[in-house]
Structure 1
Amino acid sequence: MTELLWPATHRLWLVQHALDLLTFGRRTPQPDGGAAWLDEHGRADGAAPTYTWITCRMLHVYCAGALLGVPGSAPIAQRVLTGLTGRLHDDEHGGWHHAVQQDGTPASGKDCYDHAFVLLAASSARQANLAGAADLLERAQRTFLRHFWDEGAGMCVDRWNTEFTECESYRGINANMHAVEAMLSVAGVTGDRAWIERAVQVCRFVVSSAQAHHWRLPEHYDESWRPMLEHNRDRSDDQFKPFGATVGHGLEWARLLLHAEAAQSGEQDGWLFSAATALFERAIGDGWGVDGQPGFVYTTDWDGRPIVRERMHWVVAEAINAAAALYQRSRDERYAALYRTYWDYADEHFIDHELGSWRHQLTSDHQAGDSVWAGKPDTYHAFQAALGPLLPLYPMLTTAIFEGRLA
C-alpha cells in the first residue's frame, strides 16, 4: 500500500470526485464503437468525428473504473474498445486513423500521438481483462515499434501518411510525452522492461533539451532533432502544437520523470528527480498568476512572457498531479501546500458543480471560453488528477489499482 500522505477525508473526496467523473462520462460510448466528444452536459456531440485519442482516453478511464469495481464501467469500456478493433483501425494499411467522420470517412495520416494513446488504452484494457484486449495490446505494440519508435534516435517520429510509406520530417515532444506514459504502462502490464528503457531514453533527451533552454522545453524539432523555436508562431493557441513553451507540459513532464525514475529497479535516480523539480519550478514560475489573475497561462515565449493567457483545465490538473508526485518523492511540505492551492483553484474555477466534470477552457479572467477546447470532450486529465495522489509513482495507474495499491 502507498503511504498515506493525505488526510482520510481528502482521500475520500478524491475517490468521490473520480466516481463523479465516471458518472459524467457514462454517455461516451458511440453506437458503433469508440467514444463520443462530450458537450458541457456530458452528451455526445453528434456532429463531431469519433477520435482515436478521445476513444483511448475514455477507454483508459473506464478500465480504471472497472478495476475499482464501479458498476457499469466494464460494459462502457468494452463498448468503447470496439471502436479500436473496428472502424478506427485501418485494416488495409495497419495502425489507427486519427478520426472517423460521422459518415465513416477516415482522416488522412497516422499520428504518434494517437498510437501512444492506443498503447495506453490497450494496456489498461488488458489489465481490466476486457474481451479482445490482449490481441489489441499485441497489435498496438507491433505497430508502434514498427512505425513510430526510432531506435537510432531513441525517440518517436511524429506522423506518417495513411499508407505508412512517407514519414514527415517534423518531430514533436507532445507525442513523445504521451508515449512515455504509454511505455511505462505497457511495461507494468507485460513485464517487458525494454519499454522502460525506451521511456528513459526519451526522458534523457527531454531533460537535455529543456536544460539547454533554461528549463523551457522546446516542443518542435526537425528530423535531426534540432529545435525549431519559431514553429507555429502564427498558431499560438494550437490544440497540440502551439508556438513557444507549453506550461502544462513542463508540469506533465515533471511527473513523468518521477514515474520513469520509480520504474527503474526501485532505486532513486538523482538526475530525473533534479530535472523534475527544475521543470516544475520553471513552469509554475512562468505560468502561475503571472498576468495578475490566478491560474496558469497556456504558453509563454522563450523569455517566459505569456503568449496565450487562456486557462486550460488540463494544465491545473497536471499541476495537481505533479505537486503530489513531488511531495511523494521528496516529502517537502511546500509541494503539499502547492497541491492544496491548485485543488482550491480548480474547485473554484474549473470543476463544474452544477453540470459535472471540469470546464475545459476559461479566459484569463475566468469566463467561459472555447477558442481551443469546446465542451468537455473527455475526463482523462481530471480523473488522473483525482486518483494520482492516491497511488505510488510506479506502477502506473491501472496496474497500481489492479495490484490493490490505492491508498
Structure 2
Amino acid sequence: MKQTLLSVTCILLCTLFVNAQDIIINKDTTITNTWNIPKGSILKFGSKGKISGNGTIRGGIIDAAYTQWIFDTALNVFPEGTYTNVFSARWFGAGHFKDNHVPLQKSINTILNNGTLRNLFIPRGVYAYSKSLKVESIYKGNFSNCSIHLYGESSFWDSGPGTTLQYTATDGFALGLQLNKGSEIDHLTITGMFKAPEGDDRTYYNIPFENFNDVNGKCTPLYAGLVIDYDGSKNVSGSTGIQVHDVNVGNFSIDYLISPNGKTFNADILLFENIRCGNAKVGFATGQAQEKGNVIRGIYSWGSVHTLFVAGKYGKAQAGNYTIDGGNIAGRCIRLFDISQAGWYSTNISNLFAESLGSIGSISTQIPVSISNSTFHFMYPSKVGRQVLFNSNNEKVVFSNCILRYYGLQDPLLIKGKATFTNCQLSGAVVSE
C-alpha cells in the first residue's frame, strides 16, 4: 500500500493511505481550503478518523459507520455519493450536543445541495434542538422545488428506543417542509413541550376548544410538530406528493399542520399512513382548498387531544379534499372533527374505531360527506354530563354501517342539526334537546 501526503493541514500528524482510488482516513484532519477528490474515489473513515475545519470537500464516495462523527459542521461537503446511498446525520455530530439544531440542519442542507443525495438517516437516539428544522431550497430569492427522504428507527407505536426529535422551543415548528416534491418522512418520533390540561373526566371533557391550551402558558397557538408549507412570503406554489408514514408526533398545539401560511396553494396528493397523534390541542389541521387527493390511512391517538381533525379553520380557512381511512382513537379525545367545508371539497371518513369519546364533533357543509363502517363509543353521561354527540347542518352528511352508542346503556343520544343514518345501530333514541 502506497503512503502519500495530502495537501491539507492536520491537527495531528495525519497519514492518508491510498490504495488504488480508495482514501482511508484514520486520524483527525483539518481542511481549510478546497479538497477536490478524484471521481470514483472512496473516502473511507477508520474508527477514529474525523475531518474538521472550515474548508470544502468536493467529490469522494463516503464510506463510514452511520453512528460515527466524521465531519465538523463548519465544513462544506459535496460528495460524489455515499457507499450505501445513505447520508447519516451523525456524520455531522448530531447526538453529541445539548442543542443539535446545527448538525441536523447541516445534514438536511447537505442532502438538498447535492443532486446525488436523497436519503438522510437519523440513527436511534434522542436529539434535542431549539430551532425549527427546515427542508427548503431558495433560488434567486424564491423557494424552489426540493426533495428528501428523511427517516429514522422509530415505529409509529414504539415500545422501545427509536429516533426521537425533541423540539425544546415553545413556538414555531419542529420539522417543516416547504415546496417539497415527492419527499418522504418516516420512522420518526417528534416531541414538543405542550402539556395538555388534566383533571377529572367531568372537568376535562367540558373544556371549550379556546381554553384547551398549554397548562404552562408557553406554547403558541400554531406551535406545531410537522408542518407542510409554512411560509407564504416568497412564492405561492406549494408541496406535492409527500409521503409521511410510521411517524409519531406529540406534545404540540397542533401535531400535523398543512398550509397554515394563508398564501400558498398545492399541498396536494399527500399520503399520511400509520401516523400517531400524541397530546395536543389539535391532532391534524388543514388550511386551503387546493389540498386535493390527500389521504390519511391509519390515524391513531391514545392521548389527551381536544379535536383530532380540523378543516376550514386555519390558513386560508378553506377545506380541501381528504379521505380518512382507518384509525383507532382512545385515551381522552374530546371530539373527533371540526369540519367547515362550505362548498369547497369534501372530507370522507371510514373504518374508525373510537372509544372514551366526548363527541364526534361538528360538520358544516354544502356538499355530501360520507362517514362509514365506523364505531363510536361515547363517555357515559354520568361521568361527563350530557354531551352533544354530533352537530351537522345538512342531511347530506350520511352515516352508513356505523355504530353510535353508550356501551351497555340505552340513554338517548343528543344529536343536533341534520344528518342521515343508513343501516346504523344506535344504542338509544336520537334527541335534539
Pairwise TM-score range, normalised by the shorter structure: under 0.3
Q: Which has the higher contact order (CA 8 A, sep 6+)?
A: 1
Q: TM-score, normalised by structure 2?
A: 0.24
**Greater C-alpha Rg:** 2
More strand by share: 2
